[in-house]
Chains A and B, each alone.
Chain A
Amino acid sequence: MTKTHFPPGWRRESHEYLRGLSGAFLLGIPLLYTMEMWWIGKYLTIAHQLSLLGFALVINYALASVGGFRRSKAIFGSLEEALDATAIGAIGATVVLACLNRISWHEPFGSNLGLILLQTVPLSIGASVSNILFARTENGDEDENFSHQHQRAKRSTVWQRTLTDVGATIAGAVIIGFSIAPTEEVPMLANELGWLHEVAIVAITLVLTYAIVFASGFDPQGEMQDHGIFQHPISETTISYIIALGLSFVMLMLFDQISLDDPLGSIASQVLVLGLPAAIGGAAGRVAI
């Protein structure tokens, strides 16, 4: 990970938020691709909307007490973390729903708001369980898990590490992607995307997968830079994304969602749409090894 020139307090804070955001998408991505969630979001009453927000705060408060995404608690820490997690969920939902063209200026305001609130719940829960989803590490030396992985990394060759990362990417991408590939949501989303949405999906996928592996502090090996071509943060993120896109294509073919006779634009849109959860799964796989 590239060390920034921010003061330590800001760097720590940005890492903690990125960790929360990473957990949010690891857990919440399947529900972002669920059409019932889009529909229910359209007709929520004010009571439902306020209840959802209240539920998110309460459940995040409870989860922050046992997990959370921060490394330690201050006074009222769980309460603050519940607020943070809910905000992360809301912002994350807004950005990804906009990229997927589920919310826009052309839609009624209430419909957009309902959709964001509904998706805020699973995403914020994901943020709140970030520390449970993955073992956390900071500066490694005192952490048993880090030491173990560091030793293992030192023993293995560049090619072994590269193969391990490729395998982990494939496993994670298939685990997440296989559950979404056969659903109607993929062609539905793809059909309603403009070129700007497609560019945004590529950008958000790269940013999220980079954040999960290299900026969130989930991956102790994310701090190490001298592992060959695949291990450089930018090249690893890019190559892993290409692998996820290739797997998305294969999964869509297997489930007969696309065929080689389909227009190229239609195939590309569907591959990009499935590529987002598959790439997130791949990043999770690399962190988990």
Chain B
Amino acid sequence: MSKAHFPEKPSKRSTAERVSLAVSAFVVLALVALIVFNRYNKGDKPASISAVAEIEQLREVRSQFYLPVEVTNNGNRTAEAVKIAGTVGGETRDFEISFLDGEEKARGTLVFTQDPRAQLKLEVISFREP
């Protein structure tokens, strides 16, 4: 429907219109400021991934050992398809995290049939740069 069907607004702006325009302009300017702030605050380091086993939260259920792993992207750029693998006595388990933004942390869980406290080897296998 065209706007011509509606009564014309008085040409002078009301207080409500002035306030709402000021709020809208503030929101848009704030977005620009946040983008620029984030760029200079964040940096531009390439992704670098670390994985730490949370041994204290290990739990055993029906002879299976559930080991939570915290994965951190210590860089600033996003990593995609981050693969983490853990090996305990020849038994290798892995999981993948779809996206890990710069400085973001995520958790996954590896499930072993042997107690991983004895000889766990945790590795970051690969990731893609989107």
Chain A residues engaging chain B, CB cutoff 8 angstroms: 7, 9-10, 12-14, 17, 39, 42-43, 46, 49-50, 53, 57, 66-68, 70-75, 80, 83-84, 86-88, 90-91, 107-111, 113, 116-117, 120, 131-132, 135-136, 138, 142-143
A57-B28, A83-B21, A136-B6 given; A43·B16 CB < 8 A:
no
The closest CB in chain B to the CB of A85 belongs to: B24
Distance A75 CA – B130 CA, assembled complex (angstroms):
44
Contacts of B14 in A (CB 8 A): 9, 12-13
**A90 and B27 form a contact (CB under 8 A):** yes
Interchain nearest-CB distance for B121 vs A (Å): 29
Distance A10 CA – B19 CA, assembled complex (angstroms):
10
Distance A17 CA – B9 CA, assembled complex (angstroms):
16
Contacts of B39 in A (CB 8 A): 46
From 14 to 31 in chain B, residues with beta carbon under 8 angstroms from any chain A beta carbon are 14-17, 19-21, 23-25, 27-28, 31
Interchain nearest-CB distance for A6 vs B (Å): 9
Chain B residues engaging chain A, CB cutoff 8 angstroms: 1-3, 5-9, 11, 13-17, 19-21, 23-25, 27-28, 31-32, 34-36, 38-39, 41-42, 77-78, 80, 98-99, 101-104, 130
**A113 and B78 form a contact (CB under 8 A):** no
Interchain nearest-CB distance for A58 vs B (Å): 13
**A91 and B27 form a contact (CB under 8 A):** yes
**A108 and B16 form a contact (CB under 8 A):** no
Distance A138 CA – B41 CA, assembled complex (angstroms):
48
**A131 and B1 form a contact (CB under 8 A):** yes
Interchain nearest-CB distance for B84 vs A (Å): 18
Distance A14 CA – B17 CA, assembled complex (angstroms):
10
**B5 and A80 form a contact (CB under 8 A):** no
Distance A84 CA – B80 CA, assembled complex (angstroms):
35
Distance A131 CA – B3 CA, assembled complex (angstroms):
8
Interchain nearest-CB distance for B107 vs A (Å): 11
**A87 and B3 form a contact (CB under 8 A):** no
Distance A70 CA – B78 CA, assembled complex (angstroms):
40
A9-B14, A83-B25, A108-B103 given; A43·B77 CB < 8 A:
yes
**B16 and A110 form a contact (CB under 8 A):** no
Distance A199 CA – B33 CA, assembled complex (angstroms):
32
Contacts of A90 in B (CB 8 A): 27-28, 31
**A9 and B38 form a contact (CB under 8 A):** no
Contacts of A57 in B (CB 8 A): 28
The closest CB in chain B to the CB of A131 belongs to: B1
Interchain nearest-CB distance for A68 vs B (Å): 7
A75-B11, A110-B38, A113-B38 given; A39·B6 CB < 8 A:
no
Show 17 A/B contacts (Cβ-Cβ < 8 Å), sorted by A.
Answer: A9-B14, A10-B15, A43-B80, A43-B99, A46-B35, A46-B39, A53-B35, A72-B9, A74-B11, A83-B25, A86-B27, A86-B28, A108-B101, A109-B41, A110-B42, A135-B1, A138-B6
